[in-house]
Chains A and B, each alone.
Chain A
Amino acid sequence: ETGVTQTPRHLVMGMTNKKSLKCEQHLGHNAMYWYKQSAKKPLELMFVYNFKEQTENNSVPSRFSPECPNSSHLFLHLHTLQPEDSALYLCASSPTPTGNSQPQHFGDGTRLSIL
């Protein structure tokens, strides 16, 4: 499935670096999501955006800063991360965040490693 594209696929960064993850969806959806998947842990929802507006922040540390310039693009800006932030970061989209019968479609994620 190529509806949701994430770049880069792999990222290695030091704790003092600043980097950004990018997500783009070609499905015409209005809602976009960031998830974190750590080793041997379930997916954790981080942020929800609806029509470019952030509607949910699940107590995510401020070293993660999302940006949604339009309904098709979502960024996650990273700075001064910790080793425990190493994980697979997944982006997803859906028509709206409130549709009970609307599946979310995921990208293949960015594998982030913090040195």
Chain B
Amino acid sequence: DAKTTQPPSMDCAEGRAANLPCNHSTISGNEYVYWYRQIHSQGPQYIIHGLKNNETNEMASLIITEDRKSSTLILPHATLRDTAVYYCIVRSFSGAGSYQLTFGKGTKLSVIP
């Protein structure tokens, strides 16, 4: 399994870009990087995923380094509703034949007015 390392917490001013880093130095060539977030009392919400190219959708951008050993999730204009725990996950193939999501401790992002 490729493990990920994230800072435990970050603050971001409302309206500013939030840049959340993730290290995954043991990632394999065919393993995708996924980002989810979890707001208190809700289920994890899928944000974005990528393999090696940078990706962008309506929620965020994902920047993956060329060596794929780290990535950054960018929320371009953070709002108070973006306050959540953000999880960076490298999916691993289980022995039973499915891709598992292994959630770590994530980064608690606090957006400050």
Contact = CB atoms under 8 A, between A and B. Distances in A.
A66 interface: no
B92 to A, nearest CB: 10
A4 B94 CA distance: 24
Nearest to A40: B105
B35 to A, nearest CB: 10
B9 interface: no
Interface residues of A, number: 27
Nearest to B35: A103
A6 to B, nearest CB: 8
The number of chain B residues touching the other chain, given as a range, is 20 to 34
A55 B100 contact: no
Contacts of B103: 42-43
Interface in A22-70: 31, 42-43, 45, 48, 50, 55-56
B43 A106 contact: yes
Interface in B47-72: 49, 51
B49 to A, nearest CB: 6
B104 A42 contact: yes
A105 B101 contact: no
Contact of A109 (B43, B51, B97, B100): B43
Contacts of A108: 41-43
Given A106-B44, A108-B42, A56 B94 contact: yes
Interface of B: 30-32, 34, 41-46, 49, 51, 91, 93-94, 96-105
Given A6-B43, A92-B43, A111-B41, 6 more contacts: A42-B104, A43-B103, A48-B96, A100-B32, A103-B34, A108-B43
Interface of A: 1, 4, 6, 31, 42-43, 45, 48, 50, 55-56, 90, 92, 97-109, 111
13 contacts: A1-B45, A6-B43, A45-B100, A45-B101, A48-B96, A56-B98, A97-B98, A97-B99, A98-B99, A99-B99, A101-B32, A103-B49, A108-B42
Closest 9 CB pairs of A and B: A97-B98, A106-B43, A43-B103, A56-B96, A103-B46, A42-B103, A108-B43, A106-B44, A108-B42
